[in-house]
Structure 1
Amino acid sequence: MTAPARTAAPAARGRGPVWPGCAGICAVLAAGLVASVCLGAVEVPPGTVLRIIARHLSGGGPGPWTASQDTVVWNLRVPRALLAALVGAGLALAGAATQTLVRNPLADPYVLGLTYGGAVGAVAVLVTGFAPFGPASAGIAAFAGALAAFATVYALAGARRALAPLRLVLSGMAVTYALSGVTSFLVLRADDPGTTNSVLFWLFGSLAEADWGDLGLPAAVLAVVMTVMLAQARPLNALLLGDETATSLGTPPARTRALLFLLIALLTGIMVALAGGIGFIGLVVPHAVRLLTGGDHRRLLPLAALAGAAFLVLVDIAARTALSPQELPVGIVTAVLGAPLFLWLVHARARDTSGL
């Protein structure tokens, strides 16, 4: 029993007080949300932004600002900023869970084929024009595609046996490559250049179509998934130690992985349906947070969600303003920022190998 106790320590302990880091992330997130609403082709002073928001929340009358400012702030930028925060939090949370699922800190939902599953569903609607649910068809198809990819990977990995991390990774990689080929084929089949541009913009991620009606579902799913994962924090900690140790601690590895897999698929499917394929958040953000908090999921999960929200809000600001008035796909910015950051994190981890 002595050896397992020594092994469990890195995963369970933290790296010191996390409240300063949590306060810092919250401050960055708050500042980013305000800046996201202020900045753009039409700049609105922060004081005016706050008064417009307060007026809509309180139901007050018109204020000393123009109707265009009111429309830009309340109808366009506030829901976009909030959606960026929700999607960033969801992708980071899904990434943290994926890293636990496969016991690899360099994993994210792309590894399990979920992102490309969503891409195939949405691209098929955009290319074929088959939209039985109207404007929501692409989002619904993306969600269905992500769940279909989840079911395929789950079956290939051995749903009726123990879900071994290696089988999950290999099955996910196979499904990802296959779905990538299907997506490329669908893009090549598009005859209309406008449709092709829309498909490519969606594949790289976009928050341009955000509105108030998009916020309820991701907020509810994020809250439910976070609650369930936090309730399962101790089994998730045990899962990091290997199947034999987890079993000896009273955690059934196969059942825990199955639940985790389902939560990841649900969360990723919803976020991909709303914002397209945005990479690196689920890989870089949880990995960075692990260096701060260690592997204890009671600290890791909420901090990863907060950091992911702050990161995507800031990325969206860069995407909208870097080449203003032209808007960059969000996924391009996350790739440009995420690749060097990821390389730095890998080198930092080589110097500190405790944790996951």
Structure 2
Amino acid sequence: MERIKTVGTITGIVLLACGILNFTVGMGTIYIGFQQTAQILWQIFQGTANGNILADVIYYLRLPRLVLAAVVGYGLSITGCVMQAVMRNSLADPYLLGISSGAGLGAVIAIILGFTSVAGFDAIGCFAFLGAFAVTIFIVLLSLRFGKSGTTAILLSGMALNAVCAAGISLLISIYADAERIQSVTFWLMGSLQTAEWRNTGILLAVVFFISLYFVKNSRILNLMLLGDEVSVTLGYDLSKMRRIYILLCALIVGLIVYNCGIIGFVGLVIPHIARLLCGGNYKKVLPMSAVLGMLFMVCADVISRTIMEGSEVPIGVVVSVIGAPIFIYLLISKNYGYGKR
């Protein structure tokens, strides 16, 4: 009976997701009806949509953004779940350790220096990725130096690096940036999906998918992390080693996300809590639920960001924060932000 209920829930969520995705593809300056959008998507899938202007709008403009938004929501939600287990802190998120500030510092350096491309790739994104990963490597090295359990050392190191990188960003902007560069930095730090393209999105999807499979396969270890290192040692698990591996994998996902669309907060913080409210605290269920909810959340946020103001686009990071902050405050007030039953 429980299995039938689970299958029914998953089927319902998938159908709802398909309906929402079909609806959001049709939204925009040129509105396309629900049924017509479904027909065009089917024609694109069959390869028979040649010469259709609306099909070109969907395939070249809207679908790349929609897919990137879905993958970004997927990746940030998964890494949020994992970071909350790794840190044993239900208020942790992918950017807790200063990864976002490291990425921001890298991006600002690229903008200030005027770099445009590195080996054919976007220079700002490449520098942001390197900044995020450099911060992560430094945090892992510090955790090796200051103890095996490592959660306190990792948290404090991340907070310190976050402050240093934020100060570096402010210093560079105040000294070197002109008005045009400041505008570019500000827009990039608030996130954007305007540069979505199929190749980069495909790479990001492959990385997020395979790493998330690894997390789901090792969901037992994530559950053990919530119990603490002392309990896990008695069961034969070295959580300090696994914790560093998980942090590196999360940094890889976040770094690639930052490369593609800049810094977007709150998704990895809020979505895992909603997933726990729906399916409990077992990570074997929380991870897939978070992935689906994260995709839907980001897709809806993208539609709002490009349609709420006619003729212009609101940075998606702003939209996500405006939506996510009240939800998170509600979770705090209702005391539903902790780990649920398994």
1:38 aligns with 2:26: yes
- Give distance in 1, aligned partners of 2:14 and 2:34: 18
TM-score, structure 2 length as denominator?
Answer: 0.91
Q: Shift in Å at residue 160 of structure 1?
A: 7.2
Could you say what secondary structure the match of 2:65 adopts? helix
1:98 aligns with 2:83: yes
- Give distance in 2, aligned partners of 1:21 and 1:324: 37
2:255 corresponds to:
269
Q: Shift in Å at residue 23 of structure 1?
A: 4.3
1:321 aligns with 2:307: yes
1:74 corresponds to:
59
1:59 aligns with 2:44: no
Contact 2:90 2:337 in 1 (8 A): no
Q: Per-residue CA shift, 1:105-158, capped at 9, x if unaligned?
A: 100012111112112212221222123425522222111111101011122233
- Give distance in 1, aligned partners of 2:182 and 2:192: 15
Could you say what secondary structure the match of 2:314 adopts? coil
2:35 corresponds to:
47
Of 136, 149, 163 in structure 2, the residue corresponding to residue 177 of structure 1 is 163
Q: Per-residue CA shift, 1:245-283, capped at 9, x if unaligned?
A: 111122111111111111111111111111111010010
Of 273, 280, 303 in structure 1, the residue corresponding to residue 289 of structure 2 is 303
Could you say what secondary structure the match of 1:79 adopts? helix
Pick 1 or 2: higher relative contact order, CA cutoff 8 A, min separation 6: 1
1:58/1:324 CA distance change after superposition, 3 Å? same
Contact 2:273 2:337 in 1 (8 A): no
**Higher mean displacement: 54-63 or 77-86:** 54-63
1:191/1:175 CA distance change after superposition, 3 Å? closer
Of 228, 242, 254 in structure 1, the residue corresponding to residue 228 of structure 2 is 242
**Higher mean displacement: 313-322 or 150-159:** 150-159
- Give distance in 1, aligned partners of 2:140 and 2:197: 34
2:335 corresponds to:
349
TM-score, structure 1 length as denominator?
Answer: 0.88
Of 191, 196, 219 in structure 2, the residue corresponding to residue 205 of structure 1 is 191
Could you say what secondary structure the match of 2:335 adopts? helix
Q: Shift in Å at residue 207 of structure 1?
A: 0.6
- Give distance in 2, aligned partners of 1:59 and 1:195: 42
**Higher mean displacement: 216-225 or 285-294:** 285-294
Q: Shift in Å at residue 47 of structure 1?
A: 3.3
Q: Percent identity?
A: 34
- Give distance in 2, aligned partners of 1:201 and 1:173: 24
Contact 1:113 1:153 in 2 (8 A): no
